[in-house]
Structure formats: structure tokens, C-alpha cells
A and B are shown apart, each in its own frame.
Chain A
Amino acid sequence: MIEKLNREQMAARVARDIPEGAYVNLGIGLPTMVANFLPAEKDIFLQSENGLLGMGPAPRKGEEDLELINAGKQPVTLLTGGCYFHQADSFAMMRGGHLDICVLGAFQTSTRGDLANWHTGAPDAIPAVGGAMDLAIGAKQVFVMMELSTKSGESKLVEHCSYPVTGLRCVSRVYTDLAIFDLSAEGAVVTEMARGLSFDELRRLTGVPLRPAFGLVARES
């Protein structure tokens, strides 16, 4: 049996790859959950696009401050040592390559690292982009976190994005419920797989060219 990771396990797995001292932006949705798994004893700096560095967890009930919110407009707190800044500085942190890691959700990611996460392409959809395009191209490493397949079973790791792209060749690694992929101009390399999943089965599920990393074995934990 294939042991798929659930959302919490995916978040925990991403959190394991974030080192102490990293400046990190966690995108809206699934990536936000990564914060719950960052070890409290490590100093990891969370940036929020609306102007926070050193963002802390949600406040206790009754202590919400409407002028202290995250990118999803939910109330948050500021850690001791955290600070505030304006929008131009906030996006200079992204665009200027000062953030170490950015974790984003995606509709699709191509094996060469193109990202589609801002628009479904539906003609009647009201478009909204926010900081997605800046985050995609700014951080030193851009991680995508997504389920490998859509509800109807289509792979979200693709050779070419069919959805409108957010950025080109910007994603360096994709964490999914079934496997982890490192992406580059040479294509996708599988570095970890869920227990019980074979490389051939993963190839069949994605339908894209994949190479195994040296010594690839199914995930142990």
C-alpha cells in the first residue's frame, strides 16, 4: 500500500528543510501550515508581504489587532525582535533576492520549474495576483507544496503549464504527498518517494520524464 502524506505531514516535511537563520515567506493556504512545524528553539524569520519580519503565531482570542495581520488578512503577532516596514521594502526583500526560501502552493509546476498558481485561466474568473509573481521570482529558493494529482487524477507536475504562468523557471523543489522533486533546466529529479510507491508507478502517475536521485529509496518516516 502506498503511504501518501497528509497535509500536516507534508508541512512537517517542508519544515525539516528550513534551517535556522533562514528568512522565509510562507504563501497563503497549504504553505501557511509549515509554520506550525518549525521548531521553536530555532530562530527562523518569517516574512509577511504586508510588512512584517519576525511574524509570530495567531494571537489569543480577544487579543486580535486589526492592524497586525498577515498576507491572508488574518490576525497574527510579532515576535520579540520583529519589525515593520512599508510595501516597497517588503517587495525589495523578495525581488532583491534577500529571502532564502519561499514556499508556495500551485495549480501546476513544470519539470523545468515554471509555476502556475495565480489564475485558473477560466474566462469568467476575476483575476487577482497579489504578491504571487514577486514571490515566484524573488527568493533564493522557491519551494512548491502541492498534492501531486488533481481530484480528477491529472498530474500537477507537468512538462508545460496549461494554466497561465506566474513565473518562468523559478521553482527549485516540489513537495507533494507522494514524492519530492528537485527541478532544473535538465528536468525533474526524484529525491524522495512515499513508502510503498515504486519509481515506475510514480512515472505512470505523472506522465512526465523523471530521473531518480542517486540512491533514491522510499521514504522511511
Chain B
Amino acid sequence: MIDKTVGSCDEAVADIADGARIMIGGFGTAGMPDQLIEALLRQGAKGLTIVNNNAGNGDTGLAALLAAGRVRKIICSFPRQSDSHHFDRLYRAGKIELELVPQGNLAARIQAAGAGLGAIFTPTGFGTRLAEGKETRHINGRDYVLEYPIAADFALIKAHRGDRWGNLTYNKAARNFGPIMAMAARCTIAQVATVSALGELDPEAVVTPGIFVRRIVESLPASAAAA
């Protein structure tokens, strides 16, 4: 019997090594797998490269990982926000490397990795500072920039419901990067609100098929997680 569920977030992230490249789902805090990130913080891996849309909000989740000095490099589209003080401080001190990627290119490059493509030509960013030095091509009357896939060792994502085969559904706009990150990592770990019995998820409603998911953890209720 295949059962991808694991007993705790700590167990789920135990084998993440120093220097790993990790995708973390979420748009701001919507869809951010907070309990997996807290487990990663306890686990202690350092020198990490993080792929996320942002660079942490407030003092918890990804921001806490940054604050603890565990992140060497971040690949993201929108680091600077009103509450990104931990990133801002590290960046100004030269203690974190930033690869800034337009959001749609970030999504397309992640998707390209998951789909096994060697590279993509994208019109986004052509003629801008973010495409400087990159190969370009004129195709059917339009200019494109060559961009390479972004893959990762691990993806930590948040989904709504999952089953022991790893099938996932999402909640509202918390879906954001989850489905494409799940496809682009060697080992995808999903934090879900509820683990359902096989067959309870409507096959028509499954967004991420289990083939893309290695481990699944049911999150603790917020009160227990805070304790």
C-alpha cells in the first residue's frame, strides 16, 4: 500500500540538506505552508536557495527563515513590501543574493522545469534591465528573451485537501504557485488542512495529481501549532 502521508512536518522536512534549493508556495501569506517552514527552521538547514514570489512578510514563515540567516539566495518577483523588513536589512547588508524575475517568467520557468522543457522564449522583460545580457530572438514579428527553467530539490506547498496518493485540492487564491511548484521539484511536500480517504476527493476537482507529490502532512490546528 502506498501512503504518502507522514506524521509531522518535522519528519517531512528532516532530509533537507544544507545548500538545498527549495520552492515555497504562496503569494504573500496566502498559500504559504507556514507549518512546514517552521519545521524547516527547527531542522536547521542553512545556505538555502529559496524560490518564492515574495521575500517574506512580517516576522513569521519565510521572513523568520530569512531572519535566522538560513537563506543564501532568493529567487522572487516582488521582494520589497511594506512588511519585508528582514529581507530589506539582509539585502542592504549584502547578506543575501537576489535574482529578480518578472512574476509571469517565474511561473513560466517553474512550469518549464516541471514539464521537462530546456528553455523558453518569453516576451516579458524584453528591452528591460531584467533581460540585459540575455539571448533574444525575433519570432513572427515579436521579440523574445531566452529564459531557463527553475527546478528545485524540494517544494513546500500548502493545499486544502489531500489523500494518501498525494492528490491535492486547493483553497481559493491560496492555490497560486502550488500546482506548478509541485511539478518542478524532485521532492514535493504538501501541508494540507485535511487528509481525506482515497476516493473522497472528486477526481474532477483534483488540481495536482498525486504523481507530483512525494509527502503529505496534515496541518495542526492553529492553536496547537502556536503552542
* A residues adjacent to B (C-beta < 8 A): 48-52, 65-69, 73, 78, 84-88, 90-91, 94-95, 119, 124-134, 137-138, 164-168
Contact = CB atoms under 8 A, between A and B. Distances in A.
Interface of B: 27-31, 53, 77-81, 87-88, 91-92, 98, 100-108, 110-111, 122-130, 170-180, 207
A7 B174 CA distance: 32
A86 B180 contact: yes
A131 B102 contact: yes
A209 B172 CA distance: 48
Contacts of A124: 92
A105 B30 CA distance: 25
Contact of B77 (A85, A86, A129): A129
Given A86-B207, A87-B103, A69 B28 contact: yes
Main secondary structure of the interface of A (DSSP, over half): loop
Contacts of B171: 67
Contact of B102 (A65, A68, A129, A164): A129
Given A66-B30, A119-B129, A133 B176 contact: no
A168 B30 contact: no
Nearest to A128: B80
Given A68-B173, A73-B28, A134-B104, A95 B122 contact: yes
A100 B199 CA distance: 40
Given A86-B180, A95-B124, A127 B100 contact: yes
B28 A129 contact: no
Given A50-B27, A95-B123, A133-B102, A87 B128 contact: no
A84 B125 CA distance: 26
A167 B128 CA distance: 7
Contacts of A167: 126-128
A94 B79 CA distance: 22
7 contacts: A84-B175, A91-B104, A95-B123, A95-B124, A126-B79, A126-B87, A128-B81
B177 A134 contact: no
Given A67-B31, A95-B123, A131 B103 contact: yes
Tell which of A68, A133, A138 has the most Cβ of chain B within 10 Å: A133
Given A88-B180, A132-B102, A165-B127, 7 more contacts: A65-B172, A67-B172, A84-B170, A129-B77, A133-B105, A164-B129, A167-B128
Contact of B172 (A84, A90, A132): A84
Contacts of B30: 50, 66-69, 73
A44 to B, nearest CB: 20
Contacts of B110: 87-88
